[in-house]
Amino acid sequence: MTVSHATALASVPAAIGTLRSHGLRASAARRLVLEALFAADGPVTAEAIASGLDGRVPRSDLASVYRNLETLEAIGVVQHFHPGHGPGRFAPATDGRVELLACERCGDVQAVAPARLDGVRALIEREFGYRARWTHFPMAGECARCSAERGPAAAR
Amino acid sequence: MTVSHATALASVPAAIGTLRSHGLRASAARRLVLEALFAADGPVTAEAIASGLDGRVPRSDLASVYRNLETLEAIGVVQHFHPGHGPGRFAPATDGRVELLACERCGDVQAVAPARLDGVRALIEREFGYRARWTHFPMAGECARCSAERGPAAAR
DNA sequence: ATACTTGCAAATGATTTGCCAGTGT
DNA sequence: ACACTGGCAAATCATTTGCAAGTAT
């Protein structure tokens, strides 16, 4: 999966500071999770973090990774979302939390600034009184590339 | 969960006919699944079907229920979607497949005719080249009732 | 008669929990 | 020191798969 992500809210040292300011410990396992998260080129699964991203040596227990991701999310330095089926993806938190458009065909997830969806959001709110938010559960559909590949005939 | 659903594409007897026309058997287990689906007042989980909806006597094996739901979906008499977390929900297929707005707060899922979302879809397509489809994965956000309960102050 | 189907058990994938030993501060 | 954490095993939840016995057509 590819996700063009926004600039992270903080760095590993900053995240460790946040951890401390919450009375939490900067354990080795937590540093590992943070390093994996910041080293990755996009949102990753807990499993990927636990196994050292791509087989890199230092590994950590999967249960601990989940626990730490939860802790880190609670203090606002991590965020996660659920692409279609399969495991959740985690990434460093960004300032204004990005919204996501997931392609059901190729699995790609595109991140966009919330402002770019405000017009759409307003339209939906007028019509349904419903306030849409595509941060934790992305918008589902077909990306531009896949639509093009299937040909303009596939347009409805 | 509540889902105001559209009119079903068929009835139990009609579904059995479709089954036969596909060279498939109208077994007792399949009738049970169909009856549960058509008797329910909205989308239900496989588990609910397997345990007889609300304790009603005739029960069926969960694995068979999943297998049959899959078969029934393949021939177009059943459809399913994934509300936020938790198990998927199944319902009789409707003519134009409805689109869904799920509330992340109260869990309610509202079904709407695709046409009512065409303006929104067009706007998204112009802006992102992305063709949105909220049938299998509902739109996520907060329903009107929950927004109101939290007070207009919660508006952004 | 013979495929299609079922029930039951076991496997899978994702995530969580219990527990006690280990370690940051 | 002492509470916070980590590792490991086991539990949970949703769903799938293997397989031998059962049944619709």
Instruction: Report, as an integer, the average pLDDT of A100-124.
Output: 94
Nearest C-alpha of chain B: how many angstroms from A129?
5
By Cβ distance, the residue of A120, A131, A155 closest to B124 is A120
Q: What is the mean pLDDT of chain A?
A: 89
Cβ B109 vs Cβ B103: under 8 Å = yes
Which two tokens mark B38? 């058509």
CA atoms of B63 and B24, how far apart (whole Å): 18
Query: What is the structure's pLDDT at A156?
Result: 45
Chain centroid to CA A67: 17
Interface of A with B in 113-142 (CB under 8 A): 116, 119-120, 123-124, 127-134, 136-142
What pLDDT, on the 0 to 100 scale, is given for residue A150? Answer: 76
A132 contacts in B (CB within 8 Å)? 101, 139-141
Nucleotide nearest to B22 (CA to C1'): C4
Residue-level pLDDT at A85:
94
* Alpha-carbon radius of gyration of chain A: 17
Mean pLDDT of chain B: 90
Closest residue, chain B, to A136 (C-alpha): B140
Q: Which of residues 13-32 of B touch strand D (CB under 7 A)?
A: 20, 25-28
The model carries a pTM of 0.89
* The two structure tokens encoding residue B63: 């694995």
Q: For residue B119, is pLDDT > 50?
A: yes
Helix (H) or strand (E) holding B14: helix B12-21
- According to DSSP, the β-strands at B99-103 and B131-132 are unpaired
Question: What does the pLDDT read at residue A26?
Answer: 96
pLDDT of residue A129: 95
Residues of chain A above pLDDT 70, percent: 88
- Tell me the per-residue pLDDT of B4-44, one tens digit each, with 9 for 90 and over: 556 677 799 999 999 999 999 999 999 999 999 999 999 99
Q: Does A36 contact strand D, using a CB cutoff of 7 Å?
A: no
Q: Is the CB of A150 under 7 A from strand D?
A: no
Those nucleotides of strand C lying less than 7 Å from any protein Cβ are 4-10, 13-18, 23-25
**Alpha helices of B52-142 — where are they, by DSSP H?**
52-55, 62-74, 118-128
